Structure 1
C-alpha cells in the first residue's frame, strides 16, 4: 500500500511538472518572438517584456530539472524544501506575468494594448508581420498559460509536502508482519484512530517474548528435596522417619493417647 501511494504521488507530481513546463515554454516562445521582431524592426523593447522573458526561461529550466530529478530525490527533505520555496516564488513571478499581459484579456478588437504599444487591431506591424489583432491574441495566450502555471505551482507545493510526509512514514514503518514484510506502513482503518489506547498496549508487548509456562493445579510430592512444594497432608519425613545429619527424624504427632494410656515413640513414652 505504501509503495503504491508513493508511486501515485510521484506520477501526479510528474504530470503537474509537465503542465508547468509546457506553460513556461509557451510563454518563452511567444515573448522570444516578440523580442526578435522588435529587435529586427527597431521597435522599442519595454523592460517588463525582458522580465517576462527571463521568468519564462528560468521556469522552463526549473520544471525540466524537476521532471528529470523527480524519480531520484522525490520526498527528500532538502530537495523538497528547495522545490517548495521555488514553487512559491514562481507563483508570485507568474502573477507578475499575468499582470503584464493583462491587455490580452480584452476581445482584441478596436484599440488594443500590446508589447508594441496601443494601436488599432486592424493595423499591421509591417510587411509580412502579424497584425495587432494577432499580437493581442498572443498576449491572451500568455495570460492564459500564466494563470495555469499559477494554479499548478500551487498544487506542486502541496504535493512536495505530501511527498516528504510519505517518505518519513516509509522510513518510520519498515517491513513488519503488519505489512507483509514489504515496504510501507500497515493498513489502518478509519476507526483505528479512535483505538489508540488499545493499540499502544499491543505495541508495548514484545513480540520476541516466549509464552509463560502453565502452572499445574496440584504439585507432585518429592522425597528428594525440601524445596519441592507439597500438599497440606504431605509429610516430608515419610511414615517412619529417616536419618538426616546424624539424627533420626520422626513424623509429626497427629493424635494423642487417651487419659491413662501410654503411647511409645522413639524419643520416649508419652502418658496422658
Structure 2
C-alpha cells in the first residue's frame, strides 16, 4: 500500500480542495451578479437567493483555508474532525443550492423560470448597462441578460452544486484516511519514504514524531514525557562535539569521522535474523546519515551487500567501496568488519545474539588495529548477556583496540524509524558517556540512561524485560479469570488500570481483542513484540541471574508458557499468550 501514503493523500486532498474552491467561486460569482441585477432593477430578492450567495461565500472561505492549511488538517485528529464535520455541512449546503436551482435542469428554451424571473427565454428587461454596473436601487444600469442566458448560468450553478456535493463527500473520506494513516505512523513509525527521520529531534506541535507507548520494546525503558535522562544534557543539534577529555569526533573526512552502523550476521543465520536486524539498524543508519554533516562519511558493513547498496541508493548518496574513498562521498561500503574498525573512530554494532557479537569482535581483534588520532569507541547496541559483554570489553581493552561500552536499545521498530530510541549505557566513565557517547546516540534516539559500569546497561534492560514477561502473563490470566466469571472485558480492564493491578500489558498492550483498539490483540496479534524476542530476552535474563546468584522463581514456568504458546502461535505478538491460556 505504498501508493496510498501520507504524501499521496495530502496531494489528493489539496487537488480536491482547489476544485471545490473554484466551483464555489463560480456559484458565488453567478449569484452575486444575479442579486446585483435584481437590486438594481428593483426586483424582489427572495431569501433563498440570499442564502445561496451566503452558503457559496462560506464555501469559498473554507476552501481557501483548506488549500493553504491542508498539512494541518491532514492527519491530526482534532483538525480532521472539524474538517469532516464542515465537509458534511457543505454537502447539505450544496444539496440546498441544487434544489433551489433545479428548474434550470430543463431546457432553456420557450417558457423558463429563473432567478431573474419567468417568461419567454428571449424576453429581457430594459437597461443594458451602458454605464457599467449599478450599485444602488433603481439605477437600471447593470446589464440584464435575457432569460435564456440567465437560465444557462443557473444551470451551470446546478451542475457545479452536484459536483461539489460529490467532492465534499470524497474529501470527508480522505480526511478519515489521513487520520488512520497518521495513527498508523504513530504506531509503526513513519514511512522510510518521507522525511520524518531528519531534523534535530526537537518536538513541536506540528510534527508527527510524538511519543508512542504502544510498542512493547518502547515500554521497557523510561520514555515518557516525565522521565528524565540519567544526567542533564543540552545536546539537541545535528553535529558532533569537538574533542573532550581525550575523546571526540572530528568532522574533517572519512578517515577521522568514524561513524558506523554494522549489521553483520553469519550467512547461515541470514534468513532467520535478517528481518530483526534490518528493521532496527536500517532506520538507525538513515538517522545517522541524515543528521551528521554532509561532508562526513558513514561506513557501513552488512553481510548482505545488496542491502547496503539499496540503503545508499535510497538516500541518493554516492557510495564508495574503494580502499580510499574521497571526502563527500557520503557512504563507504566496507568489505568486512575489520575494515570498518580500521577506518572508524566510533563503531556501532547491532547484532542479534551473543555468538554473533563474539564472531564480529574476533574478526576485528585478530591482529592489532592501526592507531588513530583519537581513541576508538565500540558501542554495542545488541541485547546480549552482561557476562559476554564484559568478556568482549576485556578483550578490547587488553588488545588496546579502544573502549567498549554496552548500549542496548529500547523502543523497537517504531522508535528506530522515528529516531526516538532509548539507550541504556554501561561504561567505565560517566564523563565519556556525557561528552562523546550520548551525543552520538541522540542522533538515533531521544533518551540515554547511564546505569553504571560495563554491563550495567544490559542488566537494566534484562531486569525490566523480565518484569515485562511476567506481567504480560499475569495480565492475560487476570483478564481470562474475570471474563470466565462473566465480567465485561473493557470494564474489567478499566478497573485493573485504575487499581493496583495496573501494568503496561494491561493498559497499553491488553491481550484481549477489542479492549484496546490499537493493541496487537485487536489486529490478530500481528506486529508488536514477537514471542521469539521475548523468549530470547527471558533466556538472557535467566543466564544473567544464575551468574549473579539471583533467584528468579517464576522464570522457568514463564519460559515454559512462552515456549508452549509459540508452538501454535509462531510469529505473533507476545500478548497472544492470552489465547494460549484461554484455550486450556
TM-score, reference length from structure 2: 0.33
Q: Are residue 174 (structure 1) and residue 189 (structure 2) matched?
A: yes
Match status 1:161 vs 2:262: no
Q: Is the 8 A contact 2:66 2:73 kept in 1?
A: no
> Number of aligned pairs?
207
Q: Distance in 2 between matches of 1:52 and 1:59?
A: 11
- Output one character per residue of 1:47-68: Cα deviation in whole Å (capped at 9) or x when no partner: 1100000000000000110111
Which whole-Å deviations, capped at 9, do the CAs of 1:26-57 have from their partners, x for residues lacking one? 00000000011111111111111000000000
Please give the alpha-carbon distance, in whole angstroms, between the structure 2 residues aligned to 1:4 and 1:207: 36
Residue 99 in 1 paired to residue 200 in 2? no
CA distance in 1, matches of 2:526, 2:62: 48
Cα distance, 1:2 vs structure 2: 6.5
1:178 shift after superposition: 3.0
- Alpha carbons of structure 1 residues 197 and 86: separation in structure 2 relative to 1, 3 Å: closer
Matches of 1:166 and 1:143 in 2, distance apart?
35
- 1:1-40, CA deviations, whole angstroms, 9 ceiling, x for partnerless residues? 8797100000000111111111110000000000111111
Q: Note closer, same or farther for the CA distance 1:45–1:82 as it changes in structure 2 (3 Å cut).
A: same
Q: 1:69 matched to which residue of 2? A: 69
Note the residue ranges of structure 2 that are not aligned, 5 or more in a row: 129-143, 191-275, 288-412, 418-522, 541-584
- Superposition RMSD in Å: 3.2
Give 1:126 deviation, angstroms. 2.3
Contact 2:113 2:119 in 1 (8 A): yes
What's the TM-score once normalised by structure 1's chain length? Answer: 0.68
In the TM superposition, residue 204 of structure 1 has moved relative to its aligned partner by 5.8
SS in structure 2 of the partner of residue 205 of structure 1 = helix
In structure 1, the gaps of 5 or more residues are: 187-194, 213-272
Match of 2:60 in 1: 60
Q: Does structure 2 conserve the Cα–Cα contact (< 8 Å) formed by 1:2 and 1:170? A: no
Q: Conserved in 2, the CA contact under 8 Å of 1:122 and 1:132?
A: yes
Larger radius of gyration: 1
For the residues of structure 1 that align with 2:146 and 2:526, how far apart are their CA atoms? 74
Match of 1:205 among 533, 551, 559: 533
Asked if 1 retains the 8 angstrom alpha-carbon contact of 2:72 and 2:79, the reply is no
Change (3 A) 1:206 1:125: farther
Moved >4 Å (runs of 4+): 1-4, 182-186, 195-201
Residue 124 of structure 2 aligns to a residue whose secondary structure is coil
**CA, structure 1 residues 140+198, in 2 after alignment: closer, same or farther (shift >3 Å)?**
closer
1:115-264 correspondence runs (5 A): 115-128=115-128, 129-174=144-189, 177-178=278-279, 180-181=282-283, 202=530, 205-206=533-534, 209=537
